Structure 1
Amino acid sequence: MLWVKTFHLLFIVSWFAGLFYLPRIYVNLASETNPETRATLLGMAGRLYRFMTPLGILALILGLVLWLHYGIGQGQAWMHAKLLGVLALLAFHLACRRHLRAFSNGTNTHSHGYFRWFNEIPVLLLLLILILVIVKPF
């Protein structure tokens, strides 16, 4: 199981790198007016999303393997809260896809300020999940 944990953590870190960087590209896309630069940023965002999606899937699969191996059991409310955090992270990932489609279709209505705030969501989710896993407050 140590190998599974190792690769689970590797894929989580890699997935989060994408979740931190993609909204930063959106900040630039939302304020860019040069068509060539927009095309470059849109290409970067699309490639990053296509790269980070399998990383997230692998992180989730290996997390499921660990969860099934160790089980939840009684008195582990922190794990239930962590799973909610993971679901919120998955929802954030899917929201990134929705925003990417809006940029691709030319229908984005959000400002760069919105995406600056949007960019903070994975940081907060990571902090929440880390506290739940390490501190196990309940």
Structure 2
Amino acid sequence: MEYNHIKAIHIIFVTSWFAGLFYLPRLFVYHTEANEKPEIERQILQKEYKRMQKVLFNAIMVPAMWLTIISGSTMIYWLWWDSFASQAWLHLKLGFVLGLVFYHFYCRKIILELRNDKYRFTGFQLRLFNEIATIFLFAIVFLVVLKNTVDWIWGILGLILFAIIIMSAVRIVKSIREKKK
């Protein structure tokens, strides 16, 4: 296979993995907020959310993560002989990918807690947690497209500003919902 074939496969599995990383924490929010429902409705909803979380994680997210890592590693291997060592942007990107893998497995920890009816986080906290994948995506895409770490300080400042905007938007939506109640 050519490098571009592997790159296309990589993009497909990154997209699949991120779809799961965006949706799973949303399920955590719904699962946690089901505690506010009447008993029968709560039991039905939580049983279904547990099932959905397990299927999403095991059938979509885990294979997509591994296929992302394998295809990405293949591309790095092919680059190694040419210029991997001199690609500072790629090293920084790999740091963000490592952070994303930790986020992935932290999601697994939350799944296990919710499966055992341990609710450590509020719906609002989980909404904020849901935005972490967006921040990783933002950082990774900009590094890949711009291939530049010279301006990494500006990039980090922009990333922090983006995170503040996202978190503020979540708070604003929460206050609007509370006013409607």
| TM category, shorter | over 0.9
Greater RCO, 1 or 2 (C-alpha within 8 Å, sep 6+): 1
**Paired letter, 1:125:** F
Partner of 1:137, secondary structure, is coil
CA distance in 1, matches of 2:106, 2:133: 12
State which of 116, 133, 138 in structure 1 corresponds to 2:144.
133
Question: Which residue type is aligned with residue 50 of structure 2?
Answer: L
C-alpha distance after superposition, 1:14-53 (max 9, x if no partner): 1100000000000001111311111011111110001211
Match of 1:114 in 2: 125
Q: Deviations over 1:76-131 (max 9, x none)?
A: 21111100000000000000000000001112211101110000001000010011
* Structure 1 equivalent of residue 165 of structure 2: none
Superposed, which structure 2 residues align to 1:29-68 within 5 Å?
29-33=31-35, 34-51=42-59, 52-68=61-77
- What percent identity do the matched residue pairs reach? 33
Show structure 1 runs of 4+ deviating over 2 A.
Answer: none
AA of the residue aligned to 1:103: L
SS in 2 for 1:35: helix
Number of aligned residues: 137
Query: TM-score normalised to the size of structure 2?
Result: 0.74
1:17 matched residue in structure 2: 19
Larger Rg: 2
* Residue identity in the other structure for 1:55: A
Aligned to 1:5: 7
Q: Which moves more between the two structures, 92-101 or 65-74?
A: 65-74
| Alpha-carbon distance in structure 1 between the residues aligned to 2:145 and 2:127 | 28
User: Residue 85 of structure 2 aligns to a residue in which SS?
Assistant: coil
Provide the secondary structure at the position in 2 that maps to 1:106.
Answer: coil
Partner Cα distance (1:62, 1:84) in 2: 17
For 2:28, the aligned partner's letter is: Y
The SS at the match of 2:119 is coil
Cα offset for 1:137? 2.2
